[in-house]
Amino acid sequence: MTAAIEVRQAARTYRVGQTEVAALRGVSLTVRRGDHIAVVGPSGSGKSTLLQLLGGLDRPTAGSVVIDGHDTTTVGEAELARIRNRVVGFVFQGFHLQPRTSALDNVALPLVYRGVRRAERRRRAAELLDRVGLGARARHLPGQLSGGEQQRVAIARALVTEPAVLLADEPTGNLDSASGGHLLDLLEQLNAEHGVALAVVTHDHDVAARARRRIVMRDGRIITDTEHDITAAPTGPARA
């Protein structure tokens, strides 16, 4: 499988007042097309920071993140946004839906930035809403939807651009077990049939167990990656 994203000794440090907080410390991994990865670890281990770097939403303080052959540390903001829109789909924990926009137009929004005509982007958005079981709710505003329904709208929006990589932060966190299972079935179908790389940050052991590859993080480091069966002993004090 070819590489979609390569992380090379990436570190990310944040300044909180006068204190520097090391969120990531020399992380390296490759996300290949067709991968199905679960990223697990305790709160503050660096999972969400890693996800943001994988998607080009943030840049490393040191090291590099290469998305589809483009080094995010060297490209400009406009080019990085174009790469994100073309290569990566995001499912955020907080949904980030437009509150005064219908479910249909929320899903279609990423296609606006690609210059897709209105009729075509609405057609594609309607297809995705059907796939996540919300075809009948397409005209509803986010405030008229349950939390689980909003989550499914967010997933449809992430998929509408047909990304090479789908990054999801706790995608089943607002769903009951049956709805969460159906949603994972859909994501895994896309992974199997279309080669969409799927990387899921989760605290749910059942969700993690469904992935073919498991990455365990602690203190800003990868301590286990089952792709290589590597285990690294963590060093240094725990940090947020």
Q: Note whether 53 and 8 are within 8 A (CB).
A: no
What pLDDT digit, counting tens, does each position of 20-66 carry? Answer: 999 999 999 999 999 999 999 999 999 999 999 999 999 999 999 99
What pLDDT digit, counting tens, does each position of 134-168 carry? Answer: 999 999 999 999 888 898 899 899 999 989 999 99
HEC secondary structure over the chain: CCEEEEEEEEEEEEEECCEEEEEEEEEEEEEECCCEEEEECCCCCCHHHHHHHHCCCCCCCEEEEEECCEECCCCCHHHHHHHHHHHEEEECCCCCCCCCCCHHHHHHHHHHCCCCCHHHHHHHHHHHHHHCCCHHHCCCCHHHCCHHHHHHHHHHHHHCCCCCEEEEECCCCCCCHHHHHHHHHHHHHHHHHHCCEEEEECCCHHHHHCCCEEEEEECCEEEEECCCCEECCCCCCCCC
Q: Note whether 34 and 164 are within 8 A (CB).
A: no
pLDDT of residue 238 exceeding 50, the answer is no
pTM of the model: 0.84
Could you tell me the domains of the chain? 3-231 (3.40.50.300)
